[in-house]
Amino acid sequence: MAGSISDEKYVSLTTYKRNGDPVALPVWIADLGDGTVGFTTAESSYKVKRLRRNASVTLQPCDAKGNVRAGTDVVGGTGEVHTGAEFDRIRSIVKSKYGIQYTGIELMGKVAKLIGKGSGTSAAVVITLDD
């Protein structure tokens, strides 16, 4: 199952608020080669904050706007936030899948950080998929 979800360009990631309400948003996803999938994000993002409180997630194929593709399965998992050397490893894997798109997004994040409008990409989320 990990092969099929990691082949997607975008997946709808659902995390959960303190009160249990689900929050879904589109993310890129990459196979990390060890039975897990992952993506990079800002350590200050709300999805990271929600994951640190509740590690349960679901993934489902979607488009860039987060519209879930009809007839696709929901995949459950557990998310974990990584920084430092592990972030660098995952960043490299995601960048190799998305190429110039990743470089462009990363550059925009750096510019936003310089003008005080963001924190840049500094964390990786690793998802261990449910069996």
What average pLDDT is seen over the chain?
A: 88
Q: Which domain does 50 fall in, by range? A: 2-129
Q: What is the pLDDT of residue 1?
A: 40
76 pLDDT exceeds 50? Answer: yes
Q: What is the pLDDT of residue 63?
A: 96
109: CATH? 2.30.110.10
pLDDT of residue 117: 64
Per residue in 89-112, pLDDT tens? 999 999 989 888 777 777 777 776
Number of domains in the chain: 1
Q: Could you give the count of Cα atoms lying within 13 Å of 20 in the half-sphere of its Cβ?
A: 0
The H or E element that residue 49 is part of is helix 46-53
Q: Is the pLDDT at 59 greater than 60, yes or no? A: yes
Whether 73 shows a pLDDT value over 70: the answer reads yes
